[in-house]
């Protein structure tokens, strides 16, 4: 759908700033090799994307377990415990975040995303091949400026380690900048939409000429 939208709009030059978030970053990353000719920038928004999703056997196995639980339990799945396991186990997610994920839901429909999303990837072999190919392209072929933007109060993912990882892993990116969105958690576009937009627009303006020398870690803005 990303490629069809770009084709429909008629973009043929490097004008696209792609913003990827959380699990949606898997979809965005897989599309990146095909976006190469029109991609101008990449914004990684509260997502520890990269090989830790489907790119390792552990990540792949955890996703299969998630699928299996959904098939067996439906919307009775233990959302809090499942998210803690997905994040890497106890200690990787705060107690407050675990409690929020496992909080009483108004109804079972409120777990629809966690139940339906894993079932969209039934061709696991095809998904893994496409994602692995995209990871290889990112490491060797992604040569556009990157912004790692996180909500400053994210209880699930942490900006410092994510920025350090991407700065090391995206070897050909001319710059890997970072910004913390004040007063925002894991969903900054919902909690602090104006500040998130301002951070992305500022990044677009400073990289209008196509980026600069590779950046060093800068203090989080708050």
Residue 89, both tokens: 């186990």
The DSSP call for residue 219 is P
Average pLDDT, stretch 130-150? 89
pLDDT at 159 over 50: yes
What's the confidence (pLDDT) of residue 134? 85
Residue 119 pLDDT level (bands cut at 50, 70, 90): confident
Which ranges of 142-218 would DSSP assign to H, the alpha helix?
159-169, 188-191, 193-206
pLDDT tens, residue by residue, 25-49: 878 888 899 998 999 999 999 987 6
Going across the sheet that includes 39-45, the strands are: 16-21, 39-45, 146-151, 176-181
Integer Cα distance of 43 and 120 in angstroms = 25
What's the confidence (pLDDT) of residue 87? 56
More confident: 70 or 60: 70
Residue 145 has a CB neighbour count (10 Å cut-off) of 25
Residue 115 has a CB neighbour count (10 Å cut-off) of 20
């Amino acid at each position: 759908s990303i490629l069809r939208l770009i084709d429909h709009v008629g973009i043929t030059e490097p004008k696209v700033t792609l913003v990827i978030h959380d699990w949606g970053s898997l979809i965005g990353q897989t599309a990146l090799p095909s976006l190469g000719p029109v991609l101008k920038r990449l914004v990684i928004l509260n997502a520890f994307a990269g090989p830790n999703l489907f790119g390792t056997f552990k990540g792949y196995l955890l996703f299969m377990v998630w699928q299996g639980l959904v098939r067996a339990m439906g919307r009775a799945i233990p959302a809090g415990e499942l998210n803690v396991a997905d994040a890497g186990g106890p200690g990787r997610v705060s107690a407050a975040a675990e409690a929020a994920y496992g909080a009483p839901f108004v109804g079972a429909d409120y777990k629809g995303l966690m139940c339906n999303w894993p079932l969209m990837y039934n061709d696991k072999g095809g998904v893994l091949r496409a994602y692995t190919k995209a990871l290889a392209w990112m490491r060797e072929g992604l040569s556009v400026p990157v912004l790692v933007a996180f909500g400053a109060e994210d209880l699930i993912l942490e900006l410092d380690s994510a920025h350090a990882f991407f700065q090391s892993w995206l070897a050909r990116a001319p710059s890997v900048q970072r910004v913390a969105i004040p007063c925002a958690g894991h969903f900054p576009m919902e909690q602090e939409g104006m500040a998130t937009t301002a951070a992305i627009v500022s990044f677009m303006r400073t990289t209008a000429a196509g980026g600069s020398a590779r950046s060093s870690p800068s203090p989080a803005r708050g």
